Amino acid sequence: MFENLTDRLEGVFKKLRGHGVLTEEHIAEAMREVRMALLEADVNYQVAREFVDAVSAKALGREVSQKLSPGQQVIKIVHEELVDLLGGSAEQIRLDGPQPVTIMLAGLQGSGKTTTAGKLAAQLKSKGRKPYLVPADVYRPAAIEQLQVLGSRLDVPVHPSTTDSKPVDICRQALAEAQDKHYDTLIIDTAGRLHIDERLMGELQDIQRAVKLSEILFVADAMTGQDAVTVADTFNKNLEITGIVLTKMEGDARGGAALSIKRVTGKPIKFVGIGEALDALEVFHPDRTASRILG
Ligand code: GDP
């Protein structure tokens, strides 16, 4: 994760630490290199520019610390700005308030929605909650089956959805069923398309109008970089998502999606998927991630 960016930044900082006194020119040169490193990591162009502007302004304006060398001070500022870029502090999903709560997962096909639904169910179950998996992808019988398989592996109930029902009706029925059986968390897995299309968006909006959703999580494949960011932005404009799950993070050496998606959409990354196994889902921690990027 982030290996390429870490390597590049290490080179920049090594040079900075080599100077006893940092001039404006040293900082400007380092920032040009940081910007290049971010762009190579597929960070959004505007985001990369604003990032180095913020670091430069702070580095030039900061009081001289007695404890840190000038190079270390710049690294500290980069760390602070990275934490901010990644969202500040960890954001939990909302599970309080009237029960059952409802979490809808949305995103393109193959992004990892169904797998994430299973992972979330496993995590919530281990915390003592009673999740209910709701397949609402009526176009692919295999998707319903995939969730049923996950449910039986996890011993979590799965709503008996059928391909001849409308997703919005499935969600209404599942909610009634959950109330009846005292399940406290509905996890709705929705249909994905290869591209954004209006019918899919309309279908998700119908669900949003019919069922009170606590969370609308946009699931994105981190490996797709800026495409993930653009699609997240479109979903957010149509649906007002509440957070993002970035999957396949363990294979993403660049990190462009992770580093841009919060700034562009204004919505936090709440979870990261770090493998295919059902326990490979972690709450996203901006501070730990920033430290990891800086090696
Ligand atoms: P959906 O079409 O959005 O429901 O996507 P799936 O849940 O079917 O996932 C598509 C593929 O991505 C499957 O092969 C999953 O095992 C895989 N996948 C999902 N999340 C992760 C992850 O965090 N890491 C890795 N390596 N693979 C993942």
Average pLDDT score over residue span 154-159: 98
Tell me: is residue 265 an annotated ligand-binding position: no
Tell me, using a 6 A CB cutoff, whether residue 232 lines ligand 1: no
Confidence (pLDDT) at 272: 98
Tell me, using a 6 A CB cutoff, whether residue 276 lines ligand 1: yes
Range in 8-22, 36-50, 93-107, 265-279 the model is least confident about: 8-22
Q: Is 156 left (phi over 0), alpha (psi -120 to 50) or beta?
A: beta
Distance of CA 88 to the CA centre of its chain: 14
Computed on alpha carbons and rounded to an integer, the radius of gyration of the chain in Å comes to 21
Instruction: Please give the distance, rounded to the nearest whole angstrom, from the Cα atom of residue 19 to the centre of ligand 1.
Output: 46
Tell me, using a 6 A CB cutoff, whether residue 114 lines ligand 1: yes
Confidence (pLDDT) at 64: 63
Instruction: Please give the distance, rounded to the nearest whole angstrom, from the Cα atom of residue 23 to the centre of ligand 1.
Output: 48
Q: Encode pLDDT of 116-153 as tens digits.
A: 999 999 999 999 999 999 999 999 889 999 999 999 99
Tell me: is residue 108 an annotated ligand-binding position: yes
Q: Encode pLDDT of 203-240 as tens digits.
A: 999 999 999 999 999 999 999 999 999 999 999 999 99
Tell me: is residue 6 an annotated ligand-binding position: no
Tell me, using a 6 A CB cutoff, whether residue 286 lines ligand 1: no
Tell me: is residue 258 an annotated ligand-binding position: no
Q: Encode pLDDT of 33-70 as tens digits.
A: 999 999 999 999 999 999 999 999 998 877 666 677 88
* Chain mean pLDDT for the chain: 94
Confidence (pLDDT) at 68: 76
Q: 126: which 2 tokens?
A: 């281990």
Tell me, using a 6 A CB cutoff, whether residue 112 lines ligand 1: yes
Distance of CA 155 to the CA centre of its chain: 26
* Contact partners, residue 69, CB within 8 Å, separation at least 6: 17
**How do 101-106 and 269-273 pair as beta strands?**
unpaired
Q: 203: which 2 tokens?
A: 């279908």
- Among protein residues, the one with the nearest Cα to ligand 1's atom 9 is 112
Tell me: is residue 227 an annotated ligand-binding position: no
Return the ligand 1 atom nearest residue 108 CA: 3
Distance of CA 160 to the CA centre of its chain: 29
Nearest Cα to Cα of residue 68 among 76, 56, 79:
76
Instruction: Please give the distance, rounded to the nearest whole angstrom, from the Cα atom of residue 112 to the centre of ligand 1.
Output: 4
Give percent of the chain above pLDDT 70.
99
- Among protein residues, the one with the nearest Cα to ligand 1's atom 26 is 275
Are the C-beta atoms of residues 258 and 38 closer than 8 Å to each other? no
Number of CB atoms found within 10 A of residue 139's CB = 15
Distance of CA 178 to the CA centre of its chain: 27
Confidence (pLDDT) at 219: 98
Number of CB atoms found within 10 A of residue 288's CB = 13
Q: 114: which 2 tokens?
A: 């169904």
CB-based burial of residue 153 (10 Å sphere; 0-12 exposed, 13-18 middle, 19+ buried)? exposed
Tell if the pTM clears 0.90, that is, is over it: yes
| Burial call 243-262: b when 16+ CB within 10 Å, e when fewer | bbbbbbbeebebbbbbbbbb
